[in-house]
Structure 1
Amino acid sequence: MNKKSGLPAISIVSIVATCISSLAFASSFGGATGSATVDSKALIASNGDNEYQYNAVLLVVDPNDGYKYIGNQIVGPEGGSRSPWTDMITRGLNEEGLAYTWTYVAPDNIEPDSGEAFGITFEQFGRMVLSQAATVEEAIELVDEYPRAYHGNFLFADASGTMAMLEISTKSYEVIFQGDDGTIGRANSWLSPEMQRLSEASDDMSDSGWRQNRWDELLEANSGSITEQTMMRMASDYEGALEHGWSIESHRCDPETTVCRSASTSSEVISPSDGTFWWNWGWGSGRQPRFPEQQGIHDRSWGVYVPFKLSALKPGEYVTKDSRLTPLAIRYIMNHFEISTPTMEIDSIKGQSEETWVRTQ
């Protein structure tokens, strides 16, 4: 049922921009649809990488004036400074089959960043697009219609198999890919000439450049045979981590100085046509942290993607910021799987050696 009836609890009157200190943040995503996937449906996968004091919670929201959705929300440290994305639903799926994910990129100086711009904030955007857009086309219309105090790379997909990737700044945006066939990946850089004028591009041997190229490599190698499990393997890829500390599965520890900057707070694979949000707290492989004294509670990384079927979920919190399943989640899992921790075998994929895939069982 279409419950959409205007912008939900986000009025222009309430939109404010605040000056927020810049904090380290990284993430990456990949998407595939049409001939690239086994059954032609759209699939998107992403990792949310953040400083170790930030974590993720999993929520289901059913607003009175919009679509029901499940989403990954970033939670900051109590009493700490707010980041631009604190409390943002950084990736999610709604009951109409619209899914999205995001990576952080900021304009350098030609356009205002989120702390200087007037418009929809990061937090407001996640709630708006998931509650109000049923299709990729409607999501792009929302990007275009309202002033923006958010920016980055945004990947959208819907139940029809349409996928779109946008590079978005506060004043400008470019639709880089829109269609129902192909693959695309991104890290924390704008790559189009139109948007590169706003932010310095990452070179191939930067952190973002490495993850970008690795996504492209794996998506190309596996095009035509991509499934949910394939995307899980890609999101958990460890290539490069031991060499220079950069990888898609981001533990982000410098192998020479043993300094850890940030980690994957969560990882997900989203199937819009199936209405399923596969979610993992922490990094997808679940391997043990290399420097646990610096990495807080991330030794609790699950190492397994749990399939959350939105149509079967009641509103509420399903996973806490310290990785624990809530009673809502436990009841859902027991009712649908008759086991306490759903697991699945993930077959090998092209372009990935066993040395870069060591899964904690």
Structure 2
Amino acid sequence: MLTRRSFLFGAAGVMAGCVAHTPDLQNEPRAVAPDADDTRFLQTALDKGGHVVLETGRRYTVSAQTGARAALLVKSNTFLDLAGATLELAPGQRCTMIGRVGNERITNVKIANGTIIGNGTRQPTDVLADIGAMTPTIYLTKCHNVSFHNLQLQDTYMYSIYAHGDNGVMDNISVKGAVGGGIHLDGTRWQIDHIRVRDVTYFDDVYCTGNPFIVTLKDSEIGRIYCENYGFGVKFQDGCERLTVEAIEAVAGQNNYAHPDKLVKIQGKKTPLAERHNRDIRVGRIVSRNGPSNGLYIYRSNNVEIGSYLGENNGRSHPADSKNSADVLVVAAGEIRFGEFSARGFLRYGLWLDEEAGRVVADRVEMTCGGSSVCDPIVVRNGEAVLNGVTYR
């Protein structure tokens, strides 16, 4: 299990790798823009690399040149330090706010210490056909030693932060209001903690379904995640391996009911073209509340340990006799172990093992049926449920 000490030590190690390669420009003049649109001025500063410091309390507005995919571009060895400033994308754009220079791998990039406003609700609302047209507010791929710290993101668009790479760090990030998705990460050796995401809306059913936190990570450590009022689920997907998570709290709101989905998903993938299982995932605690469908969904995943699970009042948008109304649904997954398993207020089913399910073990179980005259707390259609210390209320 990830401890606070081990997480902070790991994060400091990655940060040290970034800062060591970044020129010390603390004594350089702070960036002060000369007019209302600050794009050219800021890009000139970013082109020099190093430690770019904005003016505390100032509001900067940026926009993309005609045909450009991003308003601002960062290159290797750059620390964009907002220093308490606000960086805002002009309304009506279809572009990323902060992207990367070129197609080559970039290293040692850090963005920290301020507020970022994406004006997502004032961006175009039509859906483009190809994934290449996605324009997350911060969009960084092919990265090594990329880090995000102390950022408040508001009204973002097609993901607040979309980053792919290795040796990443993300700490103290809050997202409030996001069109299409919150945080999307892919890579290895990430250190993540203090993530809060709320009020994420569904955009379309292919690319941006409103996931507040969605990752495909290996050999990574995650601290605490809190997500509230979003589209599709908090998701660990498509081949996560050797992943440690301290705590997940998922609370449904009005946005969850527009397109009902599971609150938390540990979900691998199987298609005619690819099969990617999640493996070796350790979660200290999961809390799922008031969801329209399952509080927890485990699919195509093996060797998953959850220290404690608490589900409350989930499955409310489905008929009581549907497996999607069960508090926890396990499909095509095995070697799943819970320390404590508590499901309260479910309509009829607390735990459902479906097709291709394997072995599910729980050391202590509490079930409280809350919505049906007929209650079947445990359904095993396939696999084996080894449940100890079971209490029904």
| Structure with greater proportional strand content | 2
- Quick check: which has more Rg, 1 or 2? 2
> Normalising TM by the smaller chain, what interval?
under 0.3
Larger RCO (alpha carbons 8 Å, 6+ apart):
1
| Structure with greater proportional helix content | 1
- TM-score if structure 1 supplies the norm length? 0.26
